[in-house]
Amino acid sequence: MKDIQIIKDYLSKRISHAEIRVKLFKEKYGDNPSEKYTFYGGHTLGYWEGTLSTYQNVLDEIEVMELENTNNETK
């Protein structure tokens, strides 16, 4: 279980970082910056929103698996 906690902590840090990047992009360029700006290097608002979504999905799946394991152990 210690290894899973390390992964969850890592994902939480990455989620926090991606949330900050999304917030900064929206503050600087608005909710839909691709209408007015061209970004080189691929790190657009969509990139960070997609990254954030992926990290959150992985963390959710880990938590579901932990819950299932806990339920199976109590049977």
C-alpha distances in angstroms, 25 versus 1, 20, 33, 65?
Answer: 36, 9, 8, 33
CA dihedral 25, 31, 36, 42 (to 10 degrees): 50
Residue ranges making up the domain that contains 54: 2-74
How many domains would you assign to the chain?
A: 1
Global pTM reads 0.79
Q: Summarize pLDDT for 51-61 with one digit per residue, the tens.
A: 999 999 999 99
Q: Summarize pLDDT for 14-71 with one digit per residue, the tens.
A: 999 999 999 998 898 888 877 777 776 667 888 889 999 999 999 999 999 999 888 8
